[in-house]
Amino acid sequence: VSRLILVLGDQLTDDVAALKAADKTSDVVVMAEVAEEGSYVPHHPKKIALILAAMRKFAARLRKDGWTVDYSELDDTENSQSICGELLRRAEQHGASEVIATRPGEYRLIAALEDCPLKVTLLEDDRFIASHKEFEEWAEGRKALRMEYFYRDMRRKTGLMMEGDTPAGDKWNYDHDNRKPAPDDVDFGGPMQFAPDETVEAVLDLVERRFGNHFGDLRPFWFATDQGQARRALAHFVKHALPKFGDFQDAMLAENRFLYHAVVGLYINIGLLDPLEVCQAVEQAWKDGDAPINAAEGFIRQIIGWREYVRGIYFHEGPDYPRRNGLNHQRKLPEFYWGGETNMRCISKAVEQTGAEAYAHHIQRLMVTGNFALLAGLDPAEVSEWYLAVYADAFEWVEAPNVVGMSLFADGGVIASKPYVSSGAYINRMSDYCKGCHYKVSVKTGEGACPFNLLYWHFLDRHRDRFSNNARMGNMYRTWDRMDADRRETVLREAEAFLERMSAGAVV
Ligand code: FAD
Ligand code: SF4
């Protein structure tokens, strides 16, 4: 009797646990495009197209390799439009009662599989460097779960950029060198782009018909959709952008959407690239003298450090994690996150490129849209849903810790030791957004004052009880307290007025 082998849209590799456990001669691979997954949040059309196109190509590859694959296309009339529904349908067709699956990266889907009336075995997703057990052992008994210490263990475990027991160059972390402001010009033309082939075109037509009303542009579509293309995109990054990745990692430019970023997160997350393979390519470039140590270490830390760490946190903290609201922020997400008009040029540019590319790089997510959401007290659940919908690389296990934890401090400080908040000065230093903005970044109150300047103090003031004893925030509070009372009152009044206008739907 055959077993069903479930392969989900973000598990597109031969190395996924369920396939490794399967028997090609007797098992049936089940893959399904279902409306439920396409619409539980209004995913960006490019994100849906990426996943469906990569699924179709992966299924074709499996068939070519001799697997039996039952593939449900979204428009199949018999498609029940849910994962469990499709498993039940296939089980009946094949007289199968057992399903082998790789544990999904989202509590919602784990629950759906556990509740499915079939014998479903969930195997651990081992496409990661740290297993759940290793993370739990690391977390056990620690007061604070800081990424840096976890990262060092992952360096030791992988041996990446290690000389015996010591880190290359005798330093674990070169972040200090990675904070240069935006360069005048960027000598990298951006990630490798791929013209849609026949499979991709068919998917684009489908997505246009079914999800064309979602926020974001479907075309031009240029993402890699199979492993070979994704590897070429990686090699292109390593050769042409990696050398400056470190230096300009935190910089932002209004007219350059990618700077020296890799744009590989979306491929790693769905299985087209393996995280270790990506890090080894980067390490090799450093060994060959083609990339400086701050670039290679900085990049590898993002993957074996941050990426592994946030996954550990998501599963360590439990199913309530994505819904936490530690600062009790309730304000509704303003329309300008969905492309509505705003006078804040930094936000408008970050949202514009998000709509065009289903991509923004880390500092745009953290210090522009995330920073604003935190300062303005936006409801973390709404903000989190936005991030989950609009980025091609967004899956809950990685999105929620980054948004709810790192960016919004809504997890009560599990991930961040202090909130990532800044006034307009930081954005001005790291970008060219402020030139040409309706607001003036140097103006603190009154006509033309940058909203980030007002809201920054408003945030600190309204959360004084929570943060004034935080050693790393003492300076901020001392600066605020030194201002004269009149000025403080003006700042708070103007911040309130701004928030009220914003919530009333005025263009701010
Ligand atoms: P690069 O800047 O070139 O970095 C290289 C790789 O490092 C990335 O591809 C990614 O795999 C990894 N990485 C870097 N930072 C992180 C991080 N903080 N957490 C996990 N992996 C990281 N990343 C996602 O994959 N999915 C998300 O939904 C997501 N949401 C985010 C939301 C917010 C508010 C913030 C601040 C960050 C978020 N990130 C998310 C992390 C990071 O911004 C993206 O991984 C990165 O921008 C992807 O682009 P890139 O491939 O060009 O990355
Ligand atoms: Fe953003 Fe303020 Fe700069 Fe305008 S002035 S781009 S609102 S930081």
CATH classification (class only), 132-190+241-317? mainly alpha
Domain ranges, ordered by start, for the chain: 4-123, 132-190+241-317, 335-503
Residue located nearest, by CA, to atom 43 of ligand 1: 362
Alpha helices in 418-507 (DSSP H): 424-430, 451-462, 464-467, 474-482, 485-503
As separate numbers, helices (DSSP H) first and strands (DSSP E) second, the chain gives 24, 7
472-499 mean pLDDT = 97
Q: Which CATH class is domain 4-123?
A: alpha beta
DSSP-assigned letter for residue 104:
P
pLDDT (mean) for 255-270: 98
Q: What's the CA gap between 37 and 29, in Å, rounded?
A: 19
Asked if residue 106 lies in contact with residue 67, where contact means CB atoms within 8 angstroms, the answer is no
Say if CB 226 and CB 61 are below 8 A apart: yes
Side chain identity at 336, as an amino acid letter?
F
d(C-alpha 469, C-alpha 454), whole Å: 22
C-alpha of residue 451 to centroid of ligand 1, in Å: 26
* Cα–Cα distance measured from residue 506 to residue 85, given in angstroms and rounded to the nearest whole number: 45
Nearest CA to ligand 1 atom 38: 402
Count of residues for the chain?
Answer: 508
pLDDT tens digits, one per residue of 425-470: 999 999 999 999 999 999 999 999 999 999 999 999 999 999 999 9
Count of alpha carbons within 13 angstroms of residue 316, beta-carbon side: 24
User: If you average pLDDT over every residue of the chain, what do you get?
Assistant: 97
Query: How confident is the model at residue 1, as a pLDDT?
Result: 67
Q: Whose CA is nearest to atom 7 of ligand 2?
A: 344
What's 141-179 look like in SS3? CCCCCCHHHHHHHHHHHHCCCEECCEEHHHCCCCHHHCC
Which strand ranges, in their side-by-side order, compose the sheet holding 4-6?
A: 68-72, 28-32, 4-6, 98-102, 119-123
List Cα–Cα distances, 140 to 81, 144, 289, 310, in angstroms.
41, 10, 39, 16
Residue 345 CB less than 6 A away from ligand 2:
yes
Q: How confident is the model at residue 347 (pLDDT cuts 50, 70, 90)?
A: very high
- Chain segment 105-157, per-residue pLDDT in tens: 999 999 999 999 999 999 999 999 999 999 999 999 999 999 999 999 999 99
pLDDT score, position 38: 87
Distance separating alpha carbons of residues 301 and 177, to the nearest angstrom: 14
For 102, the 3-state DSSP assignment is strand
Dihedrals phi, psi of 431, to nearest 5 degrees: -145, 180
**Nearest-atom index, ligand 2, CA of 450:** 2
The answer to whether 266 touches 277, Cβ cutoff 8 Å, is no
The ligand placed nearest to the CA atom of residue 453 is: 2
Q: Quick check: CB of 508 below 6 Å from ligand 2?
A: no
Residue 355, both tokens: 């709509």
- Confidence class for position 2, pLDDT limits 50, 70, 90: confident
Rounded to two decimals, the ipTM of the complex is: 0.99
Burial 86-118 (b: 16+ CB within 10 A, else e): bbbbbbeebebeebbbbbbbbbebbebbeebee
Is the CB of 336 within 6 Å of ligand 2?
no
Task: Please name which ligand lies nearest the alpha carbon of 435.
Answer: 2
CATH (residue range 335-503)? 1.10.579.10
Q: How far apart are CA 9 and CA 21, in angstroms?
A: 18
pLDDT score at 39: 87
Return the amino acid letter for 115: D
Whether residue 101 contacts residue 123, with contact meaning beta carbons closer than 8 Å, is answered with yes
**Three-state DSSP class for 354?**
helix
* Model pLDDT, residue 403: 98
* Structure confidence by residue, pLDDT tens digits, 198-250: 999 999 999 999 999 999 999 999 999 999 999 999 999 999 999 999 999 99
Q: Whose CA is nearest to atom 1 of ligand 2?
A: 346
